[in-house]
Amino acid sequence: MLEVCYGVSERRICQVFMCHRSAYRYRSIADEQAALRMRLRDLAQVRVSYGYRRLHVLLQREGWVANHKRVYRPYKQEGLMMRPGGPGGM
């Protein structure tokens, strides 16, 4: 991309930006987990009082193979975070 714009080699661009050429060429192979994100959103709408830990257990029971970190990230990004409640909360 930068090679075409500025007419210089990949090696020169990496030298200027002080990065490795393997990092410059890197393409992620991770999928977006769109199906997991949609299922998590559906479960969170049905079970409003559940946090990500309990939703993770429900997903495991349904057969999803995802660790708690892979559930927490979309849970947070979708804005499904629970607010503190009960006697000690707001």
pLDDT range class, residue 90, cuts 50, 70, 90: low
22 and 55 together in one domain: no
- Backbone dihedral region for residue 88 (phi beyond 0: left; psi -120 to 50: alpha; all else: beta): alpha
pTM exceeding the 0.95 threshold for the entire prediction: no
22 and 46 together in one domain: no
The domain tally of the chain equals 2
Which domain covers residue 19, as residue numbers?
Answer: 1-30
**Which pLDDT tens digit goes with each residue over 24-79?**
999 888 777 889 999 999 999 999 889 999 999 999 999 999 899 999 999 998 88
pLDDT range class, residue 85, cuts 50, 70, 90: low
